[in-house]
Amino acid sequence: MTDTDFTMTIYIAAEPAAVWNAITGDEGSRAVMWGSVIRGDLVPGASYEYVGPGQDGDETVQVYGEVLQAEEPRLLQVTEHPGPTYRENHAELSSRLTWLIESADEGLTKLTCTNDEWSPGHPAREHTEQSWPLVLSSFKSFVETGRALPFPS
């Protein structure tokens, strides 16, 4: 790891399949990821987009990239680029996101999220230490209670 890597592990009172479904399914994604959902096949080599409300309306591409690894319900690894609306040089800006979902015990899942391999000067990097703990906590809340956390404005 380098000083630009972010890794956080949390435990969720649910089976791995429920955590996978919250991360990749429309309901969980929409609840936690600011109304965005994943579009595209989650298979290695495929393209995907997070699409949701934004500057271009309800179908704004927030983030896009390529699926590197996908092993339901255990592992999802993707590249990420900011949506074209947000950065003129979006194709040059990238990072890698890895969701590792492991059974920790019956009814308990260990979720490790790593955001690394940042391109030099990526403007989102400076917000990672604050944003990922909120997102991961919200996923935990959503899976355990059915409600995402209200994010501070």
What is the residue extent of each domain of the chain? 6-34+69-144
**Where do the DSSP E strands lie in the chain?**
6-12, 37-39, 47-54, 57-71, 75-82, 95-105, 108-116
Give the per-residue pLDDT at 61. 97
Query: Is 3's pLDDT higher than 60?
Result: no
Cα distances (Å, whole numbers) of residue 109 to 19, 99, 138: 8, 12, 15
Query: Is 1's pLDDT higher than 60?
Result: no
Which architecture, in CATH terms, is 6-34+69-144?
2-Layer Sandwich (3.30)
Query: Is 152's pLDDT higher than 80?
Result: no
Give the per-residue pLDDT at 151. 79
Measure the CA–CA gap between 151 and 119, rounded to whole angstroms: 27
Give the per-residue pLDDT at 153. 61
For range 2-25, the mean pLDDT: 92
- Token couple for 20: 């996978």
Output b/e per residue, 35-74; b: 16+ Cβ within 10 A.
bbbbebebeeeeebbbbbebeeeeebbbbbbbbeebeebb
- Token couple for 108: 């308990």
Q: Which burial class, exposed, middle or buried, applies to 88 when counting CB atoms under 10 A from its CB (0-12, 13-18, 19+)?
A: exposed
- How do residues 16-49 score in pLDDT, each as one tens digit? 999 999 999 999 999 999 999 999 999 999 999 9
- Token couple for 66: 């390529």
- How do residues 72-122 score in pLDDT, each as one tens digit? 999 999 999 999 999 999 999 999 999 999 999 999 999 999 999 999 999
In terms of pTM, does the model score above 0.75?
A: yes
Alpha helices (H) along 16-149:
16-24, 26-32, 128-145
The secondary structure of residue 93, as a DSSP letter, is -
* Contact criterion met (CB below 8 Å) for 9 and 30: no
